[in-house]
A = this chain, B = another copy of it.
Amino acid sequence: MNQKKIAIVGAGLCGSLMAVYFAKKGMRVDVFEYRKDLRLLDGSGGRSINMALSHRGIEALKKVDLFDRIKPHMIPMKGRFVHLQDGQTSFQPYGTQKDHVIYSISRKTLNEVLLDAAQEYASIHLHFEKKCTDYDVKTKKIMFEDQVSHQMLNKQYDYVFGTDGAFSKIRQAMMKTDRFNYSQDYIPQGYKELCIPAGKAGSFLMEKEVLHIWPRKKFMLIALPNTDGSFTVTLFLDFEGEPGFDDLTTKESVTAFLKREFPDAYNLMNNVEEQFFENPTSSLATIRCYPWNVENYALILGDAAHAVVPFFGQGMNASFEDVQLFFEQVQQHDLDVAIKTFSSLRKKDADAIATMALENFIEMRDSVSDPTYLQRRKIAQELERNDPERFKSRYTMVSFTSIPYAQVYQKGIENQKIIDEILANQNNSR
């Protein structure tokens, strides 16, 4: 076994799964996390409360026998449940097969299960409240600030894996090296989380096994079910503009806006104006960079390497798939080769899901209520139902297969051409 010292910086979803992958290979690893152990905390720690787990994430969990532990905490979502402004609703199934469902799961619960699993291995050492402040790519020293004593710790590792999220300190250190390509692009919209509480005895006040969307063209509301009967509601809205977060500064304006745009949701929420002013308005960015490694000893994965907007529900799934694919490289070659080659193998897929996530925002907030879109979607679903081996919709490929994202993107363009032709033929035969 390799006696070299391995550090993972960030014990979120990606880092804690990665630790388990290392342990399964019999390798010792130190995991550093700047937050408190979230298993000891109430609340969600300020991150988005629930996630959509789908095929890619599930496969990565299965590889290290963790999926069965996650299962009890999931709620299937079989499709989109669309709420129009006039109160009309409609259901749009996500796929064409019975197992074409995605799963709502609490970020906190999922992270807890992963940390519990990590803690069962003697070879995994979890260090909480150690905030990484810098990494010296030359000496391989990682600087941490102990969040209790506020002492600085200086630790040297042979390998460092940065799974420290969109604001990664390991990536920031890499940025100081020459020829590191980087971009952060914010969208004009922000988001705010709200809540629809459970009904009596944990009952659900809306359709349970769906993802609710209130598409309003330039903005939207969505809601995902939680196991306690509540729904986490998220408003996506321009910062500036009318309507815009900057405009909603009084209780009256918030009430008027929510009542006008989302009357059915408004009626199900308690003290929504209070929630509106208590909860933060957060921004949304796409982060791209390259390369993800420093030679054969440092690598960033997940959001640290490729943060995406949340509209395809793939951020976590892509991160988990990173871990699985990285360890396939470790298996086929060795750790050094895997670190050196991973970003060149995976970069185009990260770029593709970033682009598709941006495109899906338009689909969710606008297209889902557009007759032309619905007609095209119907054709796609018929093609897929008739011959699922020959035709798969882009949504199906992203959410229910492991086809590399970059291939999915290309096939998605071909799909559109096929549907164009069918529509042209339909019009000609009229």
Contact = CB atoms under 8 A, between A and B. Distances in A.
A120 interface: no
A285 B285 CA distance: 22
Nearest to A187: B179
A360 interface: no
B184 A182 contact: yes
Interface residues of A, number: 12
A183 B183 contact: yes
Nearest to A179: B186
A185 B184 CA distance: 12
A185 B183 CA distance: 8
A119 to B, nearest CB: 34
Interface in A239-286: 239, 283, 285
Contacts of A178: 186, 283
Q: Chain A's interface: helix, strand, loop or mixed, by majority? A: strand
B184 A181 contact: yes
A180 interface: yes
A355 to B, nearest CB: 15
Interface string A14-57: 00000000000000000000000000000000000000000000
Interface string A168-203: 000000000011111111100000000000000000
Nearest to A288: B183
A186 B283 CA distance: 27
Nearest to A184: B182
A186 B183 CA distance: 11
Interface in A350-365: none
Contact of A186 (B181, B186, B285): B181
A173 B181 CA distance: 19
Interface in A216-253: 239
A184 B185 CA distance: 12
A165 to B, nearest CB: 15
A272 to B, nearest CB: 24
Contact of A182 (B179, B180, B182, B239): B182
8 contacts: A178-B186, A179-B186, A181-B184, A181-B186, A182-B182, A182-B183, A183-B183, A183-B184
Given A179-B239, A181-B185, 6 more contacts: A178-B186, A179-B186, A179-B283, A182-B182, A182-B184, A183-B185
